[in-house]
Amino acid sequence: MQIDRFDHLVLTVADIDATVAFYRDVLGMQPVVFAGGRTALTFGRAKINLHQAGREFEPKAATPRSGSADFCLVTEDPLDDVVAELAALGVPVEVGPVDRTGAIGPIRSVYVRDPDGNLVEISTYRSG
């Protein structure tokens, strides 16, 4: 077996509406409702399914908790523009810009927190 890519991940969150607002308004993701009123956020060729803490869908993680995620999102936008947008929206950058290593090479990243305290890395791949 050879895995090609992520399709989706699940975030357990304290407040689905607050999470949707952050990922929609700050990161430009599109909220969707599917199968029995479940909520997800779509972007590119992937999505984030949202589970309400204490009311998770089965099957679920062994110990689902809000605020325990740490993941990286890639943008094509210049990182300086990302930092300016975050500042205009009042979203503090916790770390960065800093150089890191992504799945396919060097990246430049900033780190922010979502409403649950999840660490969200926003990165651009450097050309050349």
Residue 107 CB contacts under 8 Å (≥ 6 apart), including other chains: 72, 74, 99, 100, 101, 123, 124, 125, 126
Q: Which of 56, 76, 85, 121 is catalytic?
A: 121
Q: Give catalytic status of residue 121 as yes or no.
A: yes
Q: Are 107 and 126 in contact (CB under 8 A)?
A: yes
Round to the nearest angstrom and report the end-to-end CA distance of the chain.
32
Long-range contacts of 61-64 (CB under 8 A, 24+ apart): 61/10, 61/12, 64/10, 64/12
**Residues designated as active site:** 121
